[in-house]
Amino acid sequence: MSSVGQKRTRTTPKLNRACLLCGVVQSMTQFRNEGCPNCESVLHYQDNEDVIRECTSPTFEGLVAMNGSSKSWVSRWLRIENFVSGFYAVRIVGKLPDDIRNDLNAQGISYRPRDGSVQD
Ligand SMILES: [Zn+2]
């Protein structure tokens, strides 16, 4: 595993890709074997490395642990609720491809880019 592009990010060797939709951070292997614990029903990562490459990013910042408490300040800050326990990235470099965003829109899911380009 190369660490190019991961300067200033806090990662461990295993947690090296962040889901662009929910921000969960997992290994490539986890995404391939188990999919995203939050988004699998809409993004279908399992056994689909193309989707993993398009919809996850190896470049992210601010890894935080979520313990499953949906009321925690972290989940409010990250705008995630009822998500599984795990590690989440605060800021992710990258955006979902347009066709996937259109798919999500069609399903009533609004995607908020997590790269800092959208301000409240
Ligand atoms: Zn996800």
Q: pLDDT band at residue 110, thresholds of 50, 70 and 90?
A: confident
Find the 55 Cα to ligand 1 centroid distance in Å.
9
Map out the domains of the chain as residue ranges. Answer: 17-106
pLDDT value of residue 111:
84
pLDDT value of residue 114:
81
Averaged pLDDT for residues 10-21: 77
Write the CATH number of the domain with boundaries 17-106: 3.30.40.210
Find the 31 Cα to ligand 1 centroid distance in Å.
9
pTM of the predicted structure, to 2 decimals: 0.78
Find the 8 Cα to ligand 1 centroid distance in Å.
23
- Would you say residue 3 has pLDDT above 50? no
pLDDT over 70 percentage in the chain? 74
> What is the amino acid identity at position 92?
I
Write the DSSP string, 42-104.
HH--TT-HHHHHHHEES-EEEEEEE-S-TTSHHHHHHT--SPPSEEEEEEES----HHHHHHH
- Would you say residue 71 has pLDDT above 80? no
Find the 2 Cα to ligand 1 centroid distance in Å.
23
Find the 9 Cα to ligand 1 centroid distance in Å.
19
- Would you say residue 76 has pLDDT above 70? no
Q: pLDDT band at residue 2, thresholds of 50, 70 and 90?
A: very low
Find the 36 Cα to ligand 1 centroid distance in Å.
5
